[in-house]
Chain A
Amino acid sequence: MALLETVELTKNFFGLTALDRVNFHVDRGEIVGLIGPNGSGKTTLFNCATGVLPVSGGKVQFKGEDITNHKTHEIALKGVSRTFQIIRIFPKMTVMENMLLAIQQHQGERIISSIVRSPHVRRLEQHARDRASDLLDFVGLTHLGGSLAAHLSYGQQKLLEFIMAFMPNPEIVLLDEPAAAVNPTMIRKMMDHIVQLNKRGYTFCIVEHNMDVVMELCHRVVVLNYGEKIADGKPDEIRRNHDVIEAYFGR
């Protein structure tokens, strides 16, 4: 059984078909690349899968359960983390607060005990802090824990958003262009992080335009063009696939 799966997933924007009956799946432990020319529906697929956009047709399944059109926060709490093409963090909060926010809802709601700071909530908060410290250490942001997220450099913000996704110990992480607009050193760093986290058991689905990154990282690559899936296979197969070459470079 696939971890995350779309069945005949369709999304229309006022008559424009952004996704056309896409069958797509990610198995546990995989790093799957999702590529395609601009406007081919990659981010739309992420948005439909995470409930940010309503689905027009077809199904989204997570661990065999139908999650089509579920609320974004419900899908998040099931274990689906994601990042965004344009960095989304909370700039007016500190790095640590950003990290803590990423896990607190997963630890249970507890409105009243949160306000009165019950011992249980304090333990949860301590656990969250410990985990945040470990993860910040992993990406080398420990020294910035107390800084406002807005004061970080672009690359650091990108790392923060990336590592926030791992706070709740997710089952799958959807990364939207993790290597976009960062320098080559940072790209290298990001790739190392992804490989290491994958070895620790995290499953990835990555939208990326940088072909070197995709070909090196991904176990399997899926190609979208005008909302249709045109290829699905190992990086080497994709590189030689006639349809893919045509989609990217024209006939």
Chain B
Amino acid sequence: MRIGGVMALIGGGVLLAAMPYCVTSSYVMHIIILSGIYVIFALSYDIVVGYLGMLSLAHPAFYGIGAYTSVLLVMKLNVPFLLAFAAAGPMALIVALCVGYPALRLSYHSFAIVTLAFTLITKIVWINWESLTNGPMGIPGVPRPKIAVPFLGTINIATSTGYYYFVLVLVVLTCLFIYLLINSRVGRALLSIRENEVLAETLGVNAFKYRMIAFGIGAFFAGIAGSFTAHYITFVGPEFTDFYYITMLLIMVILGGSGTIHGVILGAIVFTFLPEYLRITPEFRDVIYGCVLLLTVIFMPGGIGGKISQVLERKRARTDGAAGNS
């Protein structure tokens, strides 16, 4: 089993590294890069919704804040790309802490409403602060990433292959961090708050503080996803903070399997590809998509990830049982 896991990891790594050489269609490559972005975005959302158990509707705001932060730094202040990109996450985190400080003291439903209001207000700011954000037109012509590496010169990321490897590195780092977070004492404390807040507090867990941490980390990665998107599509506009993203994220997280890393990754990939794939039948696209969502909810209430865990567990139980009988 151990060896199998390692083999799967190596195989998966080789497959991911060789992807740009296997995929010839630039359109498919674009969808793959997009799904990479959404993996980061959905994982960051799952920290708040899945692990913390709070329905935050502020995520598109952090996505937009990350995007505008790095774009404005690069275009208005001529900050090098890497520095601007590195500022996107922390900026979203700081704003999240300011919003979370009052909002995370509220009950579940009030928290949802306050974060919804925050998303709407943020979008209004993008539209109306014309001197800074160029208003509803957005900012076109965002420069592509230029990464200065000491001794090696500058790496210009302009091709889809370049973007692919860039987003792959980001996805791997995000997954690694979230894996470490969830399996640490901090992750354990977060789960305890979700399961039973009174008991968690009785055991010495400062629920408010851990909510702030999780909310901030979620915003941090959403900011990174937003910033990458802006530099990838070379545009940033108010639609980065569109409420549409909430629907998309909820589908990915819940149908993928909230509270599981592999489930959310799968959910993000499947629900990026599926709508694109369904373009082959423009008439039935929405009908089929709707049916898939319905069937998933009915037959996999724990999401794709939950189903996989369930199947694996049953298989393990069966082999254990067989070993016990012999």
Which A residues are closer than 8 A to B by beta carbons? 50, 52, 71-73, 76-77, 81-82, 84, 88-93, 97, 100-102, 104-106, 110-111, 114-117, 121, 125, 164, 168
Measured between beta carbons, the chain A residues less than 8 angstroms from B180 are: 115-117
Determine which residue in B188, B199, B201, B207 has the highest number of CB atoms from chain A within 10 A of its CB, and name it. Answer: B199
Known A-B contacts A71-B206, A73-B201; the reply to A93 vs B186 at CB < 8 A is: no
**Cβ contact within 8 Å between B204 and A73:** yes
Smallest distance from the beta carbon of A105 to chain B beta carbons, Å?
4
Interface of B is mostly: helix
Q: How far is the CA of A105 from the CA of B201 in the complex (A)?
A: 10
Measured between beta carbons, the chain B residues less than 8 angstroms from A88 are: 196, 198-199, 202
Smallest distance from the beta carbon of B293 to chain A beta carbons, Å?
26
Measured between beta carbons, the chain A residues less than 8 angstroms from B199 are: 84, 88-90
Smallest distance from the beta carbon of B120 to chain A beta carbons, Å?
32
Determine which residue in B180, B181, B204 has the highest number of CB atoms from chain A within 10 A of its CB, and name it. Answer: B204
**Cβ contact within 8 Å between A114 and B186:** yes
- Closest residue to A82 on the B side, CB-wise? B202
Cβ of B189 within 8 Å of any chain A Cβ, yes or no, is yes
Smallest distance from the beta carbon of B49 to chain A beta carbons, Å?
17
Cβ of B109 within 8 Å of any chain A Cβ, yes or no, is no
**Cβ contact within 8 Å between B204 and A90:** no
**Cβ contact within 8 Å between B188 and A101:** yes
Known A-B contacts A73-B206, A90-B192, A92-B195; the reply to A117 vs B184 at CB < 8 A is: yes
**Cβ contact within 8 Å between B188 and A97:** yes
**Cβ contact within 8 Å between A93 and B191:** yes
* Interface magnitude class on chain B: 20 to 34
B201 CB contact (under 8 Å) in A71, A93, A97, A111: A71
- Closest residue to A91 on the B side, CB-wise? B195
Q: How far is the CA of A115 from the CA of B176 in the complex (A)?
A: 11
Q: How far is the CA of A114 from the CA of B180 in the complex (A)?
A: 9
Measured between beta carbons, the chain B residues less than 8 angstroms from A101 are: 188-189, 192, 200, 203, 205
Please count the residue pairs between chain A and chain B whose beta carbons lie under 8 angstroms apart in the complex: 78
Measured between beta carbons, the chain B residues less than 8 angstroms from A73 are: 201-207
**Cβ contact within 8 Å between B196 and A105:** no
- Closest residue to A88 on the B side, CB-wise? B199
The 8 A CB mask of B294-315 against A (1 = contact, 0 = none) is 0000000000000000000000
Which B residues are closer than 8 A to A by beta carbons? 177, 180-181, 184-186, 188-189, 191-192, 195-196, 198-207, 213
Determine which residue in A88, A100, A115, A168 has the highest number of CB atoms from chain B within 10 A of its CB, and name it. Answer: A115
- Closest residue to B217 on the A side, CB-wise? A115
Q: How far is the CA of A151 from the CA of B299 in the complex (A)?
A: 25
**Cβ contact within 8 Å between A72 and B202:** yes
Determine which residue in A93, A105, A117, A125 has the highest number of CB atoms from chain B within 10 A of its CB, and name it. Answer: A105
**Cβ contact within 8 Å between B196 and A90:** yes
Measured between beta carbons, the chain B residues less than 8 angstroms from A164 are: 203
Measured between beta carbons, the chain B residues less than 8 angstroms from A91 are: 195
Known A-B contacts A71-B201, A100-B188, A105-B189; the reply to A115 vs B181 at CB < 8 A is: yes
**Cβ contact within 8 Å between B184 and A168:** no
Known A-B contacts A73-B206, A114-B184, A115-B186; the reply to A90 vs B191 at CB < 8 A is: yes
**Cβ contact within 8 Å between A76 and B202:** yes
Smallest distance from the beta carbon of A116 to chain B beta carbons, Å?
7
Q: How far is the CA of A168 from the CA of B180 in the complex (A)?
A: 25
- Closest residue to B203 on the A side, CB-wise? A102
Known A-B contacts A50-B202, A73-B207, A101-B203; the reply to A111 vs B188 at CB < 8 A is: no
**Cβ contact within 8 Å between A111 and B186:** yes
Q: How far is the CA of A164 from the CA of B198 in the complex (A)?
A: 15
**Cβ contact within 8 Å between A52 and B189:** no
**Cβ contact within 8 Å between A72 and B198:** yes
Q: How far is the CA of A168 from the CA of B204 in the complex (A)?
A: 10
**Cβ contact within 8 Å between B188 and A104:** yes
Smallest distance from the beta carbon of B323 to chain A beta carbons, Å?
17
**Cβ contact within 8 Å between B195 and A72:** no
Q: When A and B form their complex, which 6 residue pairs have the shortest distance between CB atoms, in order from nearest?
A: A105-B204, A72-B201, A76-B204, A114-B185, A88-B199, A114-B184
**Cβ contact within 8 Å between A105 and B195:** no
Return 22 A-B CB contacts under 8 Å, by A number. A71-B201, A72-B198, A72-B202, A73-B205, A73-B206, A76-B201, A76-B203, A76-B204, A84-B199, A88-B199, A93-B191, A101-B192, A104-B185, A105-B206, A111-B186, A114-B185, A114-B186, A115-B177, A115-B181, A115-B184, A117-B180, A168-B203
